[in-house]
Amino acid sequence: MAKVRVDAFSISIDGFGAGPRQSLEHPLGAGGPALHDWAWTTRTFQQRIHGRDGGATGADDDFAARSFENVGAWILGRNMFGPIRGPWPDESWKGWWGDNPPFHVPVFVLTHHPRQTIVMQGGTTFQFVTDGIHAALEQAAASAGGKDVRIGGGVATVHQYLHARLIDEMHIAISPTLLGSGERLFEGINLVALGYHCTERVATPNATHLVLVR
């Protein structure tokens, strides 16, 4: 049965999924890139993000690889797509990832401002949804062809889907870093009341990986 998943979502020891002062120059906020140190050097991310061979193997790479398995569509918040606020000023911004983004499947971007679908290399299409999280999930599930839908973030988007009880499974990677401020992933979220329990825990020198299932 197809799932709605959060995968490879990195947080700091003090619970932040992004640092403060996000901008074009600092899309993950101040200190935010350190959250993903466990992932950047893995074989999976080297291939997916940079198109390069090589990279580290082991438990971190196993979780990185799992995060892409059986994913038929993604959902992203607008902040994850780009730093632009308000109405789209033009059609020039096409995401952080260049001409060949790492998704290779349809991606549905939550926004309040309409925009035409963008067709990218490698099978990625960015489709913009203006009528909320349920509509985005309905469209993503229809496009996924029986595969899972991955909620890519950011924090606010994960919050919305958690509050709506729509996420079946989460892989959280706790990175050994402190941010002090930013966006807390579980701020105001009662995971116990929502029915989650931890089914897997793997610690590496770079992160502690937790799988939470509802």
Residue at 25 is within a domain: no
CB 202 within 8 A of CB 208: yes
pTM: 0.94
User: Structurally, how many domains does the chain consist of?
Assistant: 1
Summary mean pLDDT of the chain = 93
Residue at 23 is within a domain: no
Residue at 93 is within a domain: no
Residue at 69 is within a domain: yes
pLDDT band at 21 (very low <50, low <70, confident <90, very high): confident
CA distance 126 to 177: 32
Residue at 91 is within a domain: no
pLDDT tens digits for range 174-202: 999 999 999 999 999 999 999 999 999 99
The closest of 123, 172, 113 to 143, measured between CA atoms, is 123
Domain extent at residue 116 = 4-16+31-82+100-213
Residue at 90 is within a domain: no
One-letter amino acid at 119 equals: V
Residue 28 pLDDT greater than 80, yes or no: no
pLDDT tens digits for range 96-106: 888 999 999 99
Residue at 88 is within a domain: no
Q: What is the pLDDT of residue 167?
A: 98
pLDDT tens digits for range 164-174: 999 999 999 99
Q: Domain of 148: which CATH number?
A: 3.40.430.10
